[in-house]
Homo-oligomer: A and B are copies of this chain.
Amino acid sequence: MALYFGNTSDSLVADALAGFARAHADLVAHDVEQGFVRALHTSPARRVGLVSGGGSGHEPLHTGFVGLGMLDAACPGRVFASPHNRQVFTASRAVAREDGVLHLVKNYTGDRINFGIAAERLVHEGIACSRVLIDDDLASESEEIAAGRRGTGATVLVEKVLGAAADTGLGLRDLTDLGTDLVSRCRSLAVASAAHTAPTTGLPAFELPFDRMEYGVGIHGERADHTVPRRPVRELVGEMAGALERSLGLGKGASVILLVNGLGSLTRLELYGVLEDAARVLDARGITTERVLVGDLVTALDMRGFSLSLMVSDAETVKLFDAPARTAAWPR
């Protein structure tokens, strides 16, 4: 057993995927052999299939966003490990449309490699394939880290807006360009007061003193440069929002979509309190919060903390964000 409530560590992801497919049989079909889920209902106007995936442990990402208006398919890997390129290839071939397939990939080496191999195989079979690389995590921005920023919370915003755009009938080139532009308009930052349970040991992945927090933690428990003292959430959220604004070059008069995302074990009381403070902070700085999305949407197993994401928005983005979607976990 790996996590506390399970059968064997080998069956953890497979059992969960079976349960997911069972609970949401009205929304998704589950390819048990190949290990992916695909949408049962999609827009006939869509000309490009949208495929995402990545390590398990971030649920509801990505399977929870498969369905009408968002992803055509999602490929979960083992916990915190990339899906195999064969999964990605098979899923992509299954949902490819007249104008091919677009891969939505969080920026991690394993995912880049496996989606990359799958893409080569697809092109070899005559299926057009392009990629949008999501790299929103401000904490991993450093000139010393050649890998670039990690992909985290904003992934769900990108999946939603691109899904709605795909349903307008955009082609592969336009959709890729839009995705790349969307990603450039997103930044996220995460804090944690306690680590997730490491599936290999069943123990916390790292220890934090009671009155310290990890400022800039990653969704696999990647540590920040340093811990910081615990502080009132109003103050904390002010710092985080300030850092996101600076990175995006936002000033008075800007408009954003705000994501307040629980990392796993945060209570709803805390999460909605964070939301209230974040919205007030942005308001006080003259930034318009056009839309708010809240929930445990991009998690790090049972990590205790939250992330804030901003996506710079215009009327078109908001319209796409508002377009109806029907998936297991899209909360609006």
Q: Which residues of A contact B (CB under 8 A)?
A: 1, 3-8, 11-13, 15-20, 22-23, 56-57, 59-60, 64, 79, 191, 193, 197, 202, 210, 213, 230, 232-234, 236, 260, 264-277, 279, 292, 294, 296, 299, 301-302, 304-306, 328, 331
Tell me, rounded to whole Å, the shortest Cβ–Cβ distance linking A240 to chain B.
11
Contact B266 A302 (CB under 8 A): yes
Q: In the bound complex, how far is the Cα of B260 from the Cα of A113, in angstroms? A: 37
Q: Which 5 A-B pairs have the closest CB atoms?
A: A59-B268, A19-B276, A19-B272, A265-B265, A19-B275
Residue from B20, B191, B213, B266 in contact with A272 in the complex, judged by beta carbons closer than 8 Å: B20
Q: How far is the CA of A162 from the CA of B103 in the complex (A)?
A: 44
Question: This chain: how many copies in the complex?
Answer: 2
Residues of B within 8 A of A279 (CB): 19, 22
- Establish whether residues A269 and B13, one from each chain, have CB atoms under 8 Å apart when the complex forms: yes
Query: Known contacts A59-B267, A267-B59, A304-B302; is A273 also within 8 Å of B233 by CB?
Result: no
CB distance from A209 to the nearest CB of B (A): 12
Q: Which residues from chain B contact A301 at a C-beta distance below 8 Å?
A: 267, 269
Whether B5 lies near A272 (C-beta < 8 A) is no
Residue of B nearest to A59 (CB): B268
Given known pairs A19-B275, A22-B275, the reply for A3 and B232 (CB within 8 Å) is no
| Distance (whole angstroms) from the CB of A325 to the closest CB of chain B | 14
Query: Looking at A22, A234, A268, which has the most chain B CB atoms within 10 Å of its CB?
Result: A268
With contacts A22-B292, A266-B302, A301-B267 taken as known, whether A232 is within 8 angstroms of B273 at the C-beta atoms is no
Pairs across A and B, CB under 8 Å, 16 listed = A5-B233, A6-B273, A7-B232, A7-B234, A7-B277, A8-B232, A15-B273, A15-B276, A16-B270, A16-B271, A17-B272, A18-B272, A18-B276, A22-B275, A57-B269, A296-B296
CA A5 – CA B197 in complex, angstroms? 20
**Chain B hits for A210, CB < 8 A:** 202
A56 proximity list for chain B (CB < 8 A): 269
User: When chains A and B are docked, how far (Å) is the Cα of A260 from the Cα of B276?
Assistant: 30
B276 touches A3 (CB 8 A): no
Min CB distance A129 to B, Å, is: 29
| Cβ 8 A contact of A6, one of B60, B197, B270, B305 | B270
